[in-house]
Amino acid sequence: MIALDHPWLADGQRVVFRTVLEAWARPGCVVNLGPWTGGGSPALTVLAALCDAGTTFCDLHHQLSKGERGRLGALAAPAEEAAFVLADASMDPGDLTLARGTLLAPEKGATLVLANVAIGNGSEQILSGPGIDGHVDLRLGGIHPQWWTARERWCEFPLGVDLVFCSGSRAVCLPRHTRIGA
Amino acid sequence: MGYVAMRGGEHAIAEALNALDLLRAGATDPGADPGEALTIAAIRHQLRLLTDRVMGEGGLYAPDLAALAIKQAHGDPLEAAFILRAHRSNLPRLGTSPVHHGGELRLIRRISAAFKEIPGGQRLGPGTDYLQRLFRLDLLNEDPQAVRAAVARILGDEIQTKIPAMEFPGVVAGLRQEGLLPPSRPAQAAIDITREPLALPVPRPARLAHLVRGETGGILAMAYSTMRGYGYLHPTVAELRVGYLPVRLPHPLTGELVEAGEMLITECEIVATHGGGPGKGGAAGKEGGQPRLLLGYGACVGHNEVKAIAMAMCDRAMLNGDERGPAQPAEDPEFVIALVDGIESMGFCSHYKLPHYVTFQADLENLRQAAHRAKGAL
Amino acid sequence: MNQGFGFLDDLAVREIRRGLLKALAIPGYQVPYASREMPVARGFGTGGLQISLAIALPRDRLKVIDQGADDSVNAVALRRFIEASCPGLETTTRTVEATLIQTRHRIPEQPLSPGQVMVYQVPYPDPLQIVEPSESRRRRCHAHGDYARLWVRLYEDMVRFNEVAISNRYPARVAGRYVIDPSPIPRFDVLKLHQSPVAHLFGAGREKKLYAVPPYTDVEPLAFSDVPFAVEPFRDATGARRTCARCGAADTYLDELPQVGAASRWQCNDLDRCAERLGYPGDSDHDEHHAGP
């Protein structure tokens, strides 16, 4: 059942945030957003828990309706400045520039939400770093390989872009500090 | 709801509240009538300057709520301002007003120390400056009839509740026209310091906003430091205004500006000769090759002249610091704004009353170990 | 007045959410935030309180401790406030049952487990404050990973006292980059942050900063290679480890209770750990707590 209002309910946003917090603190850990996507877009559900007029947003591949963007309330910004960027994982990012933060304000590095990811499919990647006990294996499919190249270009700790992959009602996070590869 | 039995704390907190209520009612004073309550109106009017201070530091223009906070806080201004601020912190933002100007004030008081006469006229209004600070024993046991009679005598027949708006050219505008003051700076967008993290270096709108909510005594101390040799600022009060500011807000439906109410404010502009100081020429500031006077601006909620003047001096001192690097404490915005917030400093000072026995034990262990080692070394 | 779950208004909550994510993405970095005034005085835990209120769920079981005790006045006041602001949320004094633990000055003795979140009340978020008063200069030091002055301070301590004279708020490097002030926990607790299974979220309300140590992250107290970091020894004159007078534990952080005309009495600081070891004597309320409404 599609319950269009679900991503916008304050109680649901609390649960969604706590779930994302858990995923974010444990990179590679796949979490379920439960019923709060309302059967709709998990990316929108995550963004609704985080965005309002106090932040900026770029809908890179026009995945949200005008009404949804309005309801998020975040100020529209070009991709290279936005705090939150929503993109379609299957699209080639090319030489896309996103905010990486600065040494004085690394928190200004963007959060990139990639939608239409096949979590659990694709080739195995070994993740390690803060939040991970040793290492963890993650399979992500449907992602244009250029996103990985772009991530390498963006992330030079403490600068970087933090990634949230969404699929169905599931999400997995890759903060800038997570190392990919053995 | 889950319940957990607590051994001491729960009971102690309840008893503390009881003890406070007993003291407020004067229950320990045989001469007091516990039923005799201060009315909110009495606090608002008879303690009007305290109410104004509390509104200013609390960051909310709400005279009745400020009066209630004063009553609830047993008259402690910081505690009262804190109650108001905590309430304010969760109020929704319904709209943002455009920039208002001092020229829109309906004045009850306006003085300039810079000129004997000013366009629009000096207006002494309600002020205590020229009163002798002697007790008025007639207030000891005020007779309501006598007070009413006095009010009638002062007002005469014409009970005038409307204060006429006064269009006047400001003193500063005249100086600016003459080129003795630099031209107005382009207006910087206001910063809501309660909603945005502090940016460093602190932009002037944020500084002024912090000072507006600052504690009068704290701002005064900062300003006084510049008068006592920690900086060299010799200000002249170009204009001090007290009056009611009509507040315009965009109508929620039409977006057109409508007057939503008014608030009493105090506004001060000082002009200063720039901080050369003794031995440095003492000349006025030079901008564009021409020596000029420099401006400092202060404004605060309610009637609080010391705060407005001191704020204007702090503003000027920090601007001086911007130009040549802060050489004195009051010229360093980071120093000033961190220290003038009474509610934060009060809270942190009070927190030392909380138990600290874990850290103290850690200190003791550290010291004993050091002593032990020192003994061993001998 | 906001009557929604968690007291804070939506804008404040979302700002804290965004801040916490960035804090976890940049372990140890202090993220500035607006920090609302709370009905609790600055210095009494408004930073931790704002985090707890922003992340709490009705399904949480909350534990609040101050100095290792659940029943100290400030812990009671904060717990009552969170409980009243978060309908449905249960409270507990038992560390192992808690899902959300707000603390001042201690990390519980029992091992933490995934599924729990630690929230710290922080008076001074910046370890550089002991060597540099200006925040803008401190921010530049952090930006460049320049902790030279902190090292100099530690070295001076070594020269003067033969040891680092910092007993609590001991600076520690997180994930090899930023140095944090771990809040006024004793040295005894600093090591618990290293490769911990839970996320540690730090809130400094007055100083308006959020920072975090993710789970399974390296946290190393700053120390010289030839003088290893040492925790509070709790040894008596003979050199024997002191034990708790109540439960007999010889591996816990202890409170010293001075006695008139006698030697001090020592007992566990973490009351829940002590009670657990004693089998929770006289704790008849505990089952009621499970029953709920």
pLDDT at B289: 59
CA distance A36 to chain C (A): 14
pLDDT at B167: 65
Q: What number is the average pLDDT over the span B69-77?
A: 97
CA distance A22 to chain C (A): 8
In the predicted structure, residue A2 carries a pLDDT above the cut 70: no
User: Which of C33, C35, C162 has its CB closest to that of B373?
Assistant: C162
Chain A neighbors (3+ CB pairs < 8 Å): C
Q: Do β-strands A56-59 and A111-115 pair in parallel, antiparallel, or remain unpaired?
A: unpaired
pLDDT at C99: 98
Alpha carbon distance C204, C206 (integer Å): 6
pTM of the model: 0.92
Alpha carbon distance B122, B86 (integer Å): 39
Angle at C259 between CA C257 and CA C263, to 5 degrees: 90
- What's the CATH number where A155 sits? 3.40.50.11310
DSSP string, B298-365: EEEESS-HHHHHHHHHHHHHHHHHHHH---SGGG-HHHHHHHS-HHHHHHHHHHTTS--HHHHHHHHH
Cβ distance of C1 and B357 shorter than 8 Å: no
CA distance C123 to chain A (A): 22
Provide the annotated active-site residues of C: 28, 244, 247, 268, 274
Question: Where do the domains of chain C lie?
Answer: 10-221, 233-285
Alpha carbon distance B246, B97 (integer Å): 11
C-beta of residue C246 within 8 angstroms of C-beta of residue C267:
yes
Q: Quick one: which H or E segment has residue C242?
A: none
Cβ distance of B89 and C37 shorter than 8 Å: yes
Cβ distance of A111 and C215 shorter than 8 Å: no
Token digits of residue C224: 């010289």
The amino acid at residue C79 is R
pLDDT at B5: 41
Over residues C109-135, the pLDDT tens digits come to 999 999 999 999 999 999 999 999 999
| Binding-face residues of A in 12-51 toward C, CB within 8 A | 14-15, 17-18, 20-21, 24-26, 49-51
List the single residue in C with minimal CA-CA distance to A13.
C14
**Given pLDDT bands bounded at 50, 70 and 90, which one contains residue A157?**
very high
3-state secondary structure of C200: strand
Q: Determine whether domain C10-221 maps to CATH 3.30.420.40.
A: no
Alpha carbon distance B158, B242 (integer Å): 23
C-beta of residue A48 within 8 angstroms of C-beta of residue A72:
yes
Give which of C18, C178, C202 to mutate to test A binding, by max A Cβ within 10 Å.
Answer: C18
Q: Count of CB atoms within 10 A of residue C239's CB?
A: 8
Give which of C22, C35, C174, C209 to mutate to test A binding, by max A Cβ within 10 Å.
Answer: C22
Q: Quick one: which H or E segment has residue C156?
A: helix C148-161
Alpha carbon distance B341, B349 (integer Å): 12
Centroid of chain to Cα C138: 23
Domain contains A1: no
**Given pLDDT bands bounded at 50, 70 and 90, which one contains residue B274?**
low
Give which of B364, B366, B369 to mutate to test C binding, by max C Cβ within 10 Å.
Answer: B366
Higher pLDDT, B130 or B57: B57
Contacts of C195 in chain A (CB under 8 A): 133
3-state secondary structure of C151: helix
Alpha carbon distance C77, B9 (integer Å): 8
Q: Residue B195: which of C272, C239, A55, C140 has the closest Cα?
A: A55
pLDDT at B163: 66
Q: Residue C166: which of C153, C176, C175 has the closest Cα?
A: C153
Contacts of B88 in chain C (CB under 8 A): 37
C-beta of residue B274 within 8 angstroms of C-beta of residue B286:
yes
DSSP string, A69-132: HHHH-PEE--TTT-SEEEEETTS--TT----B--SS-GGGB-EEEEES-EEEEEEEEEEESTT-
Count how many domains chain A has.
1
Report, as ranges of residue numbers, the positions in chain C whose pLDDT lies below 50: 1-2, 285-293
C-beta of residue C59 within 8 angstroms of C-beta of residue A140:
no
- Integer angstrom CA distances of residue B226 from A36, B206, B277, B314, B330: 58, 21, 11, 8, 7
As beta bridge partners, residue A111 has A84, A162
Q: What number is the average pLDDT over the span B21-26?
A: 90
pLDDT at C293: 32
Alpha carbon distance A16, A40 (integer Å): 14
ipTM, 2 dp = 0.97
Cβ distance of C177 and A176 shorter than 8 Å: no
**A38-47, A131-140, B45-54, range with the lowest pLDDT:** A38-47
Alpha carbon distance B110, B128 (integer Å): 14
Q: Residue B89: which of B179, B173, B193 has the closest Cα?
A: B193
The residues, ordered by sequence, that sit 6+ positions from C275 with a Cβ below 8 Å of its Cβ are: C281, C283
- Write the DSSP symbol of residue C241: B
Q: What number is the average pLDDT over the span B154-167?
A: 68
The amino acid at residue B258 is V
In the predicted structure, residue A5 carries a pLDDT above the cut 80: no
3-state secondary structure of B128: coil
On the question of a cis peptide bond just before residue B201, with omega within 30 degrees of 0, the verdict is yes
C-beta of residue B250 within 8 angstroms of C-beta of residue B221:
no
pLDDT at B2: 34
In the predicted structure, residue B158 carries a pLDDT above the cut 70: no
Measure CA of the first residue to CA of the last residue in chain A; give whole Å. 41
Cβ distance of C256 and B364 shorter than 8 Å: yes
Strands (E), B251-304: 257-273, 285-287, 290-292, 294-301
CB pairs under 8 A between B and C: 178
In the predicted structure, residue B378 carries a pLDDT above the cut 80: no
Which stretches of B25-126 are DSSP H helices?
40-46, 48-58, 63-72, 77-89
A177 Cβ under 8 Å from any chain C Cβ:
yes
Chain B neighbors (3+ CB pairs < 8 Å): C
List the single residue in B with minimal CA-CA distance to C45.
B351
- Integer angstrom CA distances of residue A62 from A86, B170, B297: 8, 53, 48
In the predicted structure, residue A113 carries a pLDDT above the cut 70: yes
**B287-291, B334-338, C126-130, range with the lowest pLDDT:** B287-291
Indicate the burial class of B364 (C-beta count within 10 angstroms; 0-12, 13-18, 19 or more).
middle
- Integer angstrom CA distances of residue B27 from B11, B32, B38: 21, 7, 15
Indicate the burial class of A2 (C-beta count within 10 angstroms; 0-12, 13-18, 19 or more).
exposed
Q: CA Rg, chain C, in Å?
A: 20
